Every structure is written in structure tokens, then in C-alpha cells.
A and B are shown apart, each in its own frame.
Chain A
Amino acid sequence: GAGVSQSPSNKVTEKGKDVELRCDPISGHTALYWYRQSLGQGLEFLIYFQGNSAPDKSGLPSDRFSAERTGGSVSTLTIQRTQQEDSAVYLCASSLGGGANQPQHFGDGTRLSIL
């Protein structure tokens, strides 16, 4: 079946621009997660959604980062006024439930490059 889909796969933008990254989870998965993967920081948790609510936003690095999820499905991660340190691969994952015992299924990520 279809896995987690992320778009765009690559995004190059100038410093100071806003970007939107999209995640389409596996159908029926109620939990959705965003992570960031960078050379210096490894894999970092950003935000967790259960349905349309975000009970854990503790990983968002600054108020330039926001995310929403609509209809319990698609999620968008928005980065405003991008900075060079935002360059990374942004990974989305979904799981059947929100429990920590559920394996998360990952998309292939969006590679974001800030010039």
C-alpha cells in the first residue's frame, strides 16, 4: 500500500523566505510526527500530532517554525524567515496510534537548502 508521502522532495530557497513542507501520512494513521535530520544534530523530534491536535510541540526550535494538520490527515510544516541553519532533511512519520509502542513509518523526507 501507499506509504508516507512528502513533498517537495527537494527545496532550495533564499535566506529570509518562507517555506512550506507537506506530509501525507498512511491512510488511517492517527499519529503524525515531524523530525529534522542534519549532519551536526542527528535526528531531532520537532512536533507530534494526534488527530488534528499537537500535544507535543517541544521540539520546535523557534517561533519561526509552525505546523498544522487538517482533517486528521495531511500536515504542513512552515518555516518563516528561513535561516541557513534551517538547512536539513525534514522527515515525517506516521503511526497507527499515538502510543510509544507503535512503530513509526517514515517518508523519504524533504531536503531543504537555504542559500
Chain B
Amino acid sequence: AQSVAQPEDQVNVAEGNPLTVKCTYSVSGNPYLFWYVQYPNRGLQFLLKYITGDNLVKGSYGFEAEFNKSQTSFHLKKPSALVSDSALYFCAVGGGSGNTGKLIFGQGTTLQVKP
């Protein structure tokens, strides 16, 4: 069965510092990995995806993520955090054997960027 783990409920960083939000996954077959961001009372916004190819994926708003197959991880990163990056971040996995396209989400990580 597919699963996603986000080990941190909350990540706190100072504005201007680099940020990392962690994600590990479990899937049989090739994973499709996604990051989404959710602002209060809004739906999820797509940030980036890994399907195949280069392990470093660049996405919206300066975010990037690195796919590591041996560690089954897909951590979200940004070199310099902004206060406006404060939100709830979800990692998700799709694909794998028998998958119809549905996404399995992690529990979410709240990112707090302080001025």
C-alpha cells in the first residue's frame, strides 16, 4: 500500500533563512511525487512534481524538491524563506501499481516563517 509521512507537524524558520520540509514515501513501483501548499480557508495549490528524470525539481515561488530513491524521500526546500511562505504544506504520492490517479497525502506540515 502507498503511504506518505511528514515527520514534522511544524517547522519554524526565520525570514531569509533556508527552509526544508521533510517527506518520505512508500510505494510499489515508480512513484509520482507532489508538493501542495494550503493557505487558510483555501484549497490546495500545486507547487511541483517529480515524475521522472532529474532528481532536483524546481517549482513555483522559488521552491524546489529533491527526489532521493535510496532514502525514499522527497524533501521540499527553499534557499531563502519569506513570511508569506507561512502555510500548510502537503506531500503526496500517486502512481505505483494499480493506481488510478488518486493522491495519497501526508498529514501536512505547518511552516511558520518569522520576520
Contact = CB atoms under 8 A, between A and B. Distances in A.
A101 B107 CA distance: 21
Q: Is the interface of A mostly helix, strand, loop or mixed?
A: strand
B43 A101 contact: no
Interface in B24-51: 32, 34, 36, 41-46, 49, 51
Interface string A92-115: 010100111111111111000000
A48 B104 CA distance: 13
Chain B interface category by residue count: 20 to 34
Contacts of B101: 31, 33, 48, 50, 56, 95, 98-100, 102
Contacts of B34: 103
Given A42-B107, A100-B95, A103-B49, A91 B43 contact: yes
19 contacts: A33-B101, A33-B102, A35-B103, A42-B105, A48-B100, A50-B101, A56-B102, A91-B43, A91-B44, A98-B101, A100-B32, A100-B95, A100-B100, A101-B49, A101-B51, A101-B94, A101-B95, A103-B49, A106-B36
